[in-house]
Structure 1
């Protein structure tokens, strides 16, 4: 199979205009859904992109990038991708695994000597499916304002705490587990995490507008972020996400998210056997499905989410080959849907912390329209 030239995908769309539209079915479905969601007080601005095959076929912004200035969202507006950062990090994990630099089942201290001995050993494979017993945020950590210049300094926030359960016996979501994984990737790859991400993931795929939200560096076209105050959207509190690049600290555009998704629908950026490994659902020690592969959420996980949220009308679009991830950060949310069989990716970003239900509805409408137009 001929590998795709992923860096060229980036030139298949342009940010000179607000939208890139190649299919009226997709355009109509997204615009109708987005305009409906913008009537709600928890939706300030949205950015939506759809990709099919090797191309971003639609990219458009809706609403305000800043509630105070009225600046509009465009396709080039960057927003926080939150925990979609975890699948970005998974791509680097895949690269190092393919290079023979990483044993997913080795104890994490193999790559992070500073990790203190725990009651039980914990592996990267377990942490990648949220079965490692590493705790999630505690107290006001989500509101962190301290700058951590290195990954090693950032993980000091939690690595001395005991595991909260025996690895492999439970599934409990943990962003800190992914921050620890990024430290392991540094140990395995022999370079800084952000340098490897820039060179081996973002650079190779052509994600020119995706980067760490580093407050010490200038960031162009970055949206403001919002929360509600007595039912009214206001600018969100300042946070510094340097402690969690891998767990939720990157920013980017919906189109870059789609480029990333399309790079995972066929072999090229990664080998097919690596993609199969990343997407295969893991199980607990007693054979219960985890809802995660390596980093990626599974179709079964999505079906469960739709049933819980009363969105069962969308169940027919959730094929077994759907992989995805959502993201939530201070004042922003994100959603990436990737249909690996039909070569479709849908990326969505919003600049309000309570807008995730809107992203689910718009995203599923977009996926449904993209499948219908195939």
Structure 2
């Protein structure tokens, strides 16, 4: 009881919100919780993040879900576990689930050339001529790229042979998926992820699909650090197409429900889930740091499966799983303060101070 009271006290001091607004922790050592939350809040303040929402899942049970700081500074609206954020590239694992579900249904073949599904050749040729860093090394002839190459970020250079994180090509993967399924990508996400996982406070957005009115009223607006060093309201991210790389508005509580549904086999089979988090292999047998929609790396005897999200001057997020411990950490922010500039050719989640706070609390001896 003493430990629980300390936890509730820390919640109140850190957020200015009554403790009743937070879920009581379960299946996580209670003596770790107050110091962990206090450390997260210190990191939040050091990074000039107005609002942060956090969840921990242990044993397929939501063990901790809470908010720190303010979702809306001007109106003094506190961040909570049910505050919606734009999660940027943390949408990629969700998109991979949709893809693998369609593979299970026989609609898609990850290893079939995507020219069979869509106008890839034309796009590839045009994009490869662009000055973008993500077009560098893209070889379009012969047209042998597959969905597996796009979803594993192994499409540049010799397809399947090297990893280079490429959100443009990952986003484009929605086109052959939509062509094969004859349905919008956003509708597929709703059908195969949001509905079966019970993610009612979640939605897709794109140029042709505005955010649902109920979520728009609750969405944490973005913030940035201005030229004076003060935190200021930032412009909303520009509208995008119906792509697989982003376009998801959700809460840490809803993504925790996704995590549970994924691990319980509600969304895809155990075989498909294993394929998602298995690192791709290059032609010479080298393990690459990405599976299908997930970064994959080793850390002190554990495999870490994770994805970050970053909208410059707007939002940031981290979704980190440790399958061997049946443990998950989720954190969303209404600024870019969670982002740690992970390189494009490696997986280095240990450089994230938020990840370190989690690993040192729940994993390290």
Equivalent residue number for residue 308 of structure 1: none
Q: Does 1:327 align with 2:309?
A: yes
The 1:352–1:216 alpha-carbon spacing in structure 2 relative to 1, beyond 3 Å, is closer
The alignment's C-alpha RMSD in Å is 2.6
Partner Cα separation in structure 1 for residue 58 and residue 325 of structure 2: 8
Q: Which runs of 5+ in 1 are unaligned?
A: 1-15, 134-164, 301-314
Which sits farther off after the overlay, 230-239 or 344-353? 230-239
Deviation for aligned residue 1:283: 2.4
Equivalent residue number for residue 210 of structure 2: 215
The 1:367–1:202 alpha-carbon spacing in structure 2 relative to 1, beyond 3 Å, is farther
Deviation for aligned residue 1:277: 1.2
Which of 81, 99, 104 is the aligned partner of 2:105?
Answer: 99
| TM-score normalised by length of structure 1 | 0.76
Deviations 1:177-214 (A, max 9, x none): 12221112212222111111101111111111221234
Equivalent residue number for residue 173 of structure 1: 165
Is the 1:85–1:246 contact (alpha carbons within 8 Å) kept by the matching residues of 2?
Answer: yes
Deviations 1:276-322 (A, max 9, x none): 2111111233433320011111024xxxxxxxxxxxxxx44x612x3
Partner Cα separation in structure 1 for residue 36 and residue 339 of structure 2: 16
Q: Does 1:196 align with 2:188?
A: yes
Is the 1:85–1:245 contact (alpha carbons within 8 Å) kept by the matching residues of 2?
Answer: no
Partner Cα separation in structure 1 for residue 20 and residue 188 of structure 2: 31
Is the 1:348–1:359 contact (alpha carbons within 8 Å) kept by the matching residues of 2?
Answer: no
Kindly tell me the number of residue pairs found equivalent between the two proteins.
311
Partner Cα separation in structure 1 for residue 186 and residue 121 of structure 2: 20
Which of 66, 74, 84 is the aligned partner of 1:68?
Answer: 74
Equivalent residue number for residue 8 of structure 1: none
Which sits farther off after the overlay, 242-251 or 69-78? 242-251
Partner Cα separation in structure 2 for residue 335 and residue 287 of structure 1: 29
Deviations 1:72-123 (A, max 9, x none): 2111111111111111100101101111211111111222246527323211
The 1:241–1:364 alpha-carbon spacing in structure 2 relative to 1, beyond 3 Å, is farther
Deviation for aligned residue 1:52: 1.8
Partner Cα separation in structure 2 for residue 338 and residue 41 of structure 1: 23
Is the 1:79–1:349 contact (alpha carbons within 8 Å) kept by the matching residues of 2?
Answer: yes
Deviation for aligned residue 1:268: 4.0
Which of 274, 280, 292 is the aligned partner of 1:282?
Answer: 280
Q: How does 1:56-205 map to 2 (within 5 A)?
A: 56-113=62-119, 115-116=121-122, 118-120=140-142, 121-133=144-156, 165-205=157-197
| TM-score normalised by length of structure 2 | 0.77
Q: Does 1:356 align with 2:339?
A: yes
The 1:32–1:74 alpha-carbon spacing in structure 2 relative to 1, beyond 3 Å, is same
Equivalent residue number for residue 42 of structure 2: 36
Q: Choose between structure 1 and 2 for higher RCO, CA contacts under 8 A separated by at least 6 residues.
A: 1
Deviation for aligned residue 1:348: 0.6
Equivalent residue number for residue 224 of structure 1: 221
Deviations 1:332-353 (A, max 9, x none): 1111111223322211101111
Q: How does 1:234-313 map to 2 (within 5 A)?
A: 234-243=232-241, 245-300=243-298
Which of 10, 22, 25 is the aligned partner of 2:25?
Answer: 22
